[in-house]
């Protein structure tokens, strides 16, 4: 399962898997406890495949950041907890993404990325190579 079906919903802890769409919104299942919720169209919802992290040169898609964390941790969970001190989180993130923009990436963003990675890892979602990457390389060969 790719990140295009994984959602972050404003005001709700954790991540959610898109189950189905309805006329008034959609149904999502929590990756933390498996409970299903209905979400209205007015809710603040972010699809993980659409999120990127600012660097000094460009925006790096979240799946690339997750892949970097996975490589650093040899496929395991992160060596830091999302509740650790700000300085420890920033040091860890510099190891994962050395040129991230400190002015635009806040400690709260780093906490979310680490927490989301661990939630995905716990749910067996650890294939962060996106389908777009394959189509991009196919376009370059032409």
Kindly give, in sequence order, each residue whose CB lies less than 8 Å from that of residue 134, ignoring residues fewer than 6 positions away: none
- pLDDT at residue 87, rounded to an integer: 95
- pLDDT at residue 98, rounded to an integer: 94
**pLDDT per 10-residue tile (average), the chain, 142 residues:** 89 94 93 94 93 95 95 93 94 95 95 95 85 43 42
Cα first-last separation, the chain: 28
User: Phi then psi for 97, rounded to 5 degrees?
Assistant: -135, 85
Residue 98 has a CB neighbour count (10 Å cut-off) of 10
Structural domains of the chain in order of their starting residue, each with its CATH number:
3-48 (2.30.30), 51-131 (1.10.10.1650)
Beta bridge partners of 37: 28
Q: What is the pTM of this model?
A: 0.87
3-state class of 24 per DSSP? coil
């Amino acid at each position: 399962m790719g990140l295009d079906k994984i959602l972050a919903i404003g005001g709700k802890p954790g991540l959610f898997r898109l189950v189905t769409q309805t006329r008034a919104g959609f149904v999502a299942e929590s990756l933390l406890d498996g409970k299903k919720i209905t979400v209205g169209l007015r809710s603040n919802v972010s699809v993980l495949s659409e999120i990127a992290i600012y660097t000094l040169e460009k925006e790096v898609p979240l799946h690339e950041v997750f892949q970097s964390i996975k490589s650093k941790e040899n496929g395991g969970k992160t060596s830091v907890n999302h509740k650790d001190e700000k300085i420890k989180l920033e040091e860890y993130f510099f190891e994962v993404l050395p040129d991230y923009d400190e002015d635009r990436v806040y400690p709260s963003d780093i906490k979310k990325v680490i927490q989301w990675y661990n939630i995905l890892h716990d749910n067996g979602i650890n294939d962060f190579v996106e389908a777009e990457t394959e189509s991009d390389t196919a376009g370059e060969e032409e």
